[in-house]
């Protein structure tokens, strides 16, 4: 039984906001700002590390990064709920677009393409 999914998270966050009367602050515009602010907290953890260091975080940093990722998911689910967007369906549609845009045979091992066009 998959109670542990995005839909459960969506409902829990909606209840969390309703219980606190915070819906009034949760216009998509405002949630987009909160979402990018959380992403920036993630970025801060990596800004003075090189790429290799970023793959091997200390346990303390890893625990902090894990909660930043949680914050990003929380706001992403919240704004999607407010806009009535089914996140997983949207991601499937976007991946289908990306698969056409970056055919394997065309971009494979091609750093220039990978770096100029991002998914």
According to CB under 8 A, which residues from 13 to 72 bind a second copy? 13, 16, 19-22, 24-25, 27-30, 32-37, 39-55, 57, 62, 65-67, 69-72
Match 């090189």 to its residue by tokens. 50
How many chain residues touch a second copy (CB under 8 A)? 82
Segment 77-116, which members bind a second copy (CB under 8 A)? 77, 79-80, 82-83, 85, 87-95, 97-99, 102, 104, 107-109, 111, 114-115
Applying CB under 8 A, among 11, 59, 64, 73 the residue interacting with a second copy is: 73
Rounded CA Rg of the chain: 18
Q: Are 81 and 14 in contact, with CB atoms under 8 Å apart?
A: yes
| Shortest distance, position 117 Cβ to a second copy, whole Å | 10
Count the alpha carbons within 13 Å of 4 in the hemisphere toward its beta carbon: 1
**71 close to 38: Cβ distance less than 8 angstroms:** yes
CB of 6 to a second copy, least distance (A): 7
CB of 79 to a second copy, least distance (A): 7
Sign of the CA dihedral running 79, 70, 16, 22: negative
């Amino acid at each position: 039984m998959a109670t542990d999914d995005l839909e459960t998270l969506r409902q829990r966050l909606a209840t969390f906001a309703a219980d606190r009367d915070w819906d009034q602050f949760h216009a998509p515009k405002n949630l987009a700002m909160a979402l990018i602010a959380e992403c920036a907290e993630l970025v801060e953890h990596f800004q003075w590390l090189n790429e290799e260091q970023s793959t091997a975080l200390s346990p303390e940093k890893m625990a902090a990064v894990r909660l930043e990722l949680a914050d990003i998911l929380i706001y992403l689910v919240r704004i999607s709920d407010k806009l009535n967007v089914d996140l997983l369906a949207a991601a499937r549609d976007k991946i289908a677009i990306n698969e056409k845009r970056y055919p394997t045979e065309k971009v494979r091992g091609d750093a220039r393409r990978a770096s100029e066009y991002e998914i």
